[in-house]
Amino acid sequence: MFPLRVESLEINIKSKKLIGPINLLIRQKGISVVLGANGSGKTTLLEALHGLRKLSKGKLNWSIPNNLAAKEQSFVFQNPIMLRRSVLENLIYPLRIRRVSKSISVKEAMHWAQKIGLENKVHQQAPLLSGGERQAVAVARALISNPKMLFLDEPTASLDGLAKKTIEDILLSASKNDTKIIMSTHDLGQAKRLADDIIYLHKGILETHSSKEKFLDAPPSDAAKQFLAGDIVL
């Protein structure tokens, strides 16, 4: 499946270019963090890589056919949608559509419920959980089928410290178990904690894709320097 070669990717709406042209090489290991100011194109890039947006130009070249690559991916939105069912049924859902037996599905779901600290709420309606709990369910639901790639769009925005740590710990564990993670965040501290490499966007343009250390030590532009300093990026 890997590497993923992104060649001259562009997303346009009518005459307005949202992002691009972007060229990337995404390797199998680690956590890639997409950084940039609001409106820089982070969400659009993630959606394009996952196939949620039609490319205006360019190509996504996986090492396997695109339809097979699509089956090995999951996506967690900033505001995840919960099925109007229990926590248990939300966690089971990805396994059941893959025709995993009910007994094995329940066992796996209970394992994940324990990992996210919701083993005592598995029969509670998922939409009634707190924001942090719903996000944890969404991440667990995305990982329960062992995807080879997981996309996350601002997965801990507006969450408190404990909820954020729970999700970060899950992502680090998933990465160690060979799930490639690409996530956007506005939280520079989180990027420093999680990232192996940084994809930095400015006004829809890819300014750099480099190791975390290189990006932090030698930001590639004035905009990147302003971003790292916490200033408003124009």
Q: Is residue 92 part of a domain?
A: no
Q: Is residue 216 part of a domain?
A: yes
Q: Is residue 160 part of a domain?
A: yes
Q: Is residue 50 part of a domain?
A: yes
Give the chain's domain count.
1
The reported pTM is: 0.96
User: The domain spanning residue 203 has which CATH number?
Assistant: 3.40.50.300
Q: Is residue 110 part of a domain?
A: no
Q: What is the mean pLDDT of residues 146-169?
A: 94
H or E stretch at 115: helix 102-115
Distances (CA, A) of 177 to 27, 30, 40, 172, 233: 15, 10, 31, 9, 36
- What pLDDT does residue 6 have? 98
Q: Is residue 98 part of a domain?
A: no
Range of the domain at 171: 4-82+129-229
Q: Is residue 104 part of a domain?
A: no
Q: Is residue 74 part of a domain?
A: yes
The string of pLDDT tens digits covering residues 9-60 is 999 999 899 999 999 999 999 999 999 999 999 999 999 999 999 999 999 9
Cβ-based burial of 116 (10 A; exposed 0-12, middle 13-18, buried ≥19): buried
